[in-house]
A and B are shown apart, each in its own frame.
Chain A
Amino acid sequence: MHPFVLERPCDLSAVLALGAQAGRNDAPVEYIAGGTDMVQLLQEHVRRPDRLVSLAGVLDDGIEIGPQGLRLGAAATMAEVAAHQGVVEQFPLISQALLNSASPQVRNQATMGGNLLQRTRCPYFRDVGYQACNKRAPGSGCAALDGENRWHAVLGTSDDCIAVHPSDLAVALVALDATVELRGTGGDRSVPLSELHRLPRDTPHLETVLEPGEVITAITVPANAAGLRSHYLKLRDRASFEFAAVSAAVAIETDGARIRQARVALGGVGTKPWRLPNVEQALADKNLEPGELRSAAALAAEGAQGRGHNDFKIELMQRAIVRAVEIAGARA
């Protein structure tokens, strides 16, 4: 690890004043929450901040459900949220996505804020032995474009980066219209989760809209997302403890065998958590019938671009949507 000074401020204003910035590979000051991603990146010399600012003990870790919906404190752990009775009953998509993530040990350590801001698993990004990675070293090229790109994105890609955003939680949350609450030295603001992450375009080293110093303080999910029939389908190379090759988060409201409204998001295929409004529109008023679902799901492939090893994802993601809607529809 590159040497760093470890700061352990005891209140949030002291934290903000230190100016750390998540999601930028050139940030000299960075936050550490659960540490499950950050320690790995430090160990591998991918991140080399001069100062590391601990968020331990300064952020809300509460989980609340009220008339407004669900509020998850940024410091709540993946394990706590996954097991919370109210989340399990009213927002099962979130609990399912979390239980399909990482391992019990990691889920005990990792926080909500850190999960949304975890860095890509692109092997070239995580191995400084490779020179070309625009996300890690702006302007150096992208080793994945013509390299081993089986794990890479087919949606939202650019000629400079095709890395997948790896969070399962974010896929479930974006389907449920979640918002992130931010606090910075300039005050509070909230941003729809769908706008937290940037597309790579020609600046893949800038991953989020966070300003220096800004922290995520909470995630909120509106009450109208409660009680929908939902399913998180995760397809991966081993049965457990693996990132998604393709995942689909689906929540539907039905009237008998007819879909009234649907929310659909995909993981493992997008450069950010990927919501599919065109598929959602096509699913509305359709019957829970394979042919109809299939033609709606086909719209997910609009604009999709494979790079060789990851071409299989374009077909697989359509099938994942159909299967997830079928499973959600079959729930009592």
Chain B
Amino acid sequence: MPGAISPALAQAAGAAPALLDVSLRINGTEHRLSLDPRTTLLDALREHLHLTGSKKGCGLGQCGACTVLMDGMRVKACLSLAALAQGREIKTIEGLAQGDELHPLQASFIERDAFQCGYCTSGQIMAGVACISEGHAGSPQDIREWMSGNLCRCGAYDHIVAAIQDAAAVSSSTQGG
């Protein structure tokens, strides 16, 4: 079964608990799932709903690759139990573009070449979208502090900061200040 722990570990840990009916609202669509209570939101997205844009870097809250928006706020999906995310509005990288039109931050990541391997990128973009909407993208220094929960092993930080600055400028000009 996708999302379950390996059979060996499951055996070591004891019998699997009863499944829970969980309804998750993701990118505007309601999904009904039957989940082991241990399933994290990240595993529900990736293994059960096949929304693999959100990445698992560490699974322990330390890298930010799994960042999604919950009721508009950035959170780490690997530290959330899926069953406790019921009733929340979840947005993943898959829900950012409008049809074929990229979100301004997605476009500026491409424009600024803000990635190498790309593994951290969807988490960076989700965190960046929140960073801008929170008003924490006023200066490169601000962006570095408020993006510190997202690590990039390729060290694309300078380009990531530039991409967020660009997108923040676009959003403040379209919002008239």
Contacts and interface: CB of A to CB of B under 8 A. Distances in A.
Contacts of B64: 103, 105
A317 B79 CA distance: 32
A36 B61 contact: yes
B114 interface: no
A42 interface: yes
Contacts of B61: 36, 39-40, 105-106
A256 interface: no
A3 B17 contact: yes
Q: How large is the interface on B (under 10, 10 to 19, 20 to 34, 35 or more residues)?
A: 35 or more
Interface string B79-102: 111011000000000000000000
B5 A1 contact: yes
Contacts of A45: 13
A3 B131 contact: no
A108 B74 CA distance: 7
A6 B146 contact: no
Nearest to A7: B37
A70 to B, nearest CB: 23
Contacts of A2: 13-14
Contact of B37 (A43, A52, A103, A106): A52
B59 interface: yes
A192 to B, nearest CB: 30
B45 interface: no
B79 to A, nearest CB: 5
Interface string A42-57: 1111000000101010
A242 to B, nearest CB: 9
Given A103-B148, A104-B130, A8 B74 contact: no
Contacts of A102: 149
Contacts of B20: 6
B80 A106 contact: no
A5 interface: yes
A130 interface: no
Nearest to A77: B73
Nearest to A44: B60
A35 B84 CA distance: 10
B16 A3 contact: yes
B79 A35 contact: yes
A42 B74 CA distance: 22
A312 interface: no
Contact of A240 (B16, B17, B145): B145
A6 B16 CA distance: 13
B23 to A, nearest CB: 13
Contact of A109 (B40, B80, B136): B80
A108 B18 CA distance: 30
Contacts of A52: 37
Contact of B84 (A32, A106, A241): A32
A109 B75 contact: yes
Contacts of A42: 38
A5 B145 CA distance: 38
B105 interface: no
A85 to B, nearest CB: 14
Interface in A235-268: 239-241
A54 B82 CA distance: 12
Contacts of B150: 103
Contact of B38 (A3, A8, A239): A3
Nearest to B76: A105
B75 A5 contact: no
Interface in B24-50: 36-38, 40
B60 A40 contact: yes
30 contacts: A3-B36, A3-B38, A4-B37, A4-B38, A5-B17, A6-B20, A6-B37, A6-B81, A6-B83, A8-B83, A8-B84, A35-B81, A36-B61, A36-B79, A39-B40, A42-B38, A45-B13, A103-B64, A103-B149, A103-B150, A104-B130, A104-B146, A105-B74, A105-B75, A105-B127, A105-B149, A106-B61, A106-B149, A108-B74, A108-B75
Give the 10 A-B CB pairs with smallest separation, nearest first.
A103-B149, A240-B148, A6-B37, A241-B148, A1-B38, A3-B17, A108-B73, A39-B79, A105-B76, A105-B149
Interface of B: 5, 13-18, 20, 36-38, 40, 59-61, 64, 67, 70, 73-76, 78-81, 83-84, 127, 130-131, 134, 136, 144-146, 148-150
Given A36-B76, A39-B80, 19 more contacts: A3-B13, A3-B15, A3-B16, A3-B38, A5-B37, A6-B83, A35-B80, A39-B81, A40-B79, A43-B60, A79-B73, A103-B148, A104-B74, A104-B127, A104-B146, A106-B61, A106-B76, A108-B70, A239-B148
